[in-house]
Chain A
């Protein structure tokens, strides 16, 4: 397996010890910690896991074994940050790895969110329960209120499924 990092359709910004990646196609934002970002940048389609582990150890200045690289590749693949997704699901337990390697090793972490639409991020001005007839999947912002927000639906007394919004 010689993974290649995806480069197209991404906005990449570096923080001190992290890398932020915004996927323009899927509208997802990812935060890669130092280890995950290092593996991602090393994926050039020519290096296998062993080579990646060697280079990762050099970059981080700590021991890094192939399981650490596999864990990073699994997370990067799930986040669609590799050009080709991994052929098979990599079975690596983060907990076992941490137990085996101890706290000295920085395990890769990829945190992701779905970027909100403008309406989802806006203020809901509803004061009355949502009328089912006024609010559906194609009109999720009836009266300025996003019906795809489960909590809003719940707080307004709309039963699950009442809004027909995706998350309701």
Chain B
């Protein structure tokens, strides 16, 4: 840590997110505004100098000595998580690690990798891995009239209700283009604000040309389907099982392959209604 401490830090920020105290320091104060835009939804600034995790983002660029270019670096505590000539990649690594840390260590919440929208007072939860098409489906559901809650994590409390995690909706481009981010406020009537019981869990996988003909899972199988995408599943299995069990008790759990998001969105809203 002493070596990292000597890199020359010019500004910093302490904040609390889901009960965890986290710090970020930068060598270029201009980067701090970008850092703030990458923090998890609902973060609050904290004056406390004591943090459980400290991120250090070092901005490289041109060195005064001709012909020398310094790389951008990101650290989580003492672990280097990025060393790259692309500042966006260094910030992506910071954001990714931060989200994972919060999702894994959040107090009194269970984070499941899933998209979430609200429909008629209940949540539709779409668990799935990255690249399974969650964000596109969430975007299609919002266009069809649902309320945006999250395209990344379903955040469950101990009663099994889902809380909003309204980070900007991130849609990947084709052929490796950078994702485009759509602020939660710009989606439909804006993001939901209150916790909701779950009405439908849709375990779906995108297959070109597929028709949504799901089969119904039992509540127990539904819990397993959610647990397979639960971030603290290994760290806190009892709490995760308890929360997920309550979540699926009054919900329908459907599993199947689906085609284009726009085609299945209305059907899903019908399934949930």
**Which residues of A are in contact with B by a Cβ distance under 8 Å?**
11, 13, 15-20, 22, 24, 27, 29, 31-33, 111-113, 115-119, 121-125, 127-129, 143-146, 149, 151-152, 155
Contact = CB atoms under 8 A, between A and B. Distances in A.
Interface residues of B, number: 45
B118 interface: no
A23 to B, nearest CB: 9
Contacts, number: 129
B245 A152 contact: no
Nearest to B235: A118
B219 interface: yes
Given A18-B218, A31-B218, A111 B224 contact: yes
B234 A118 contact: yes
Contact of B176 (A24, A111, A127): A127
Nearest to B89: A143
The secondary-structure label for the interface of chain A is loop
Contact of A118 (B100, B129, B132): B100
B129 A149 contact: yes
A99 B65 CA distance: 81
A121 B241 contact: no
A121 B237 contact: no
A167 B219 CA distance: 29
Nearest to B172: A127
Interface string B64-87: 000000000000000000100000
B96 A20 contact: no
B177 interface: yes
A152 B130 contact: yes
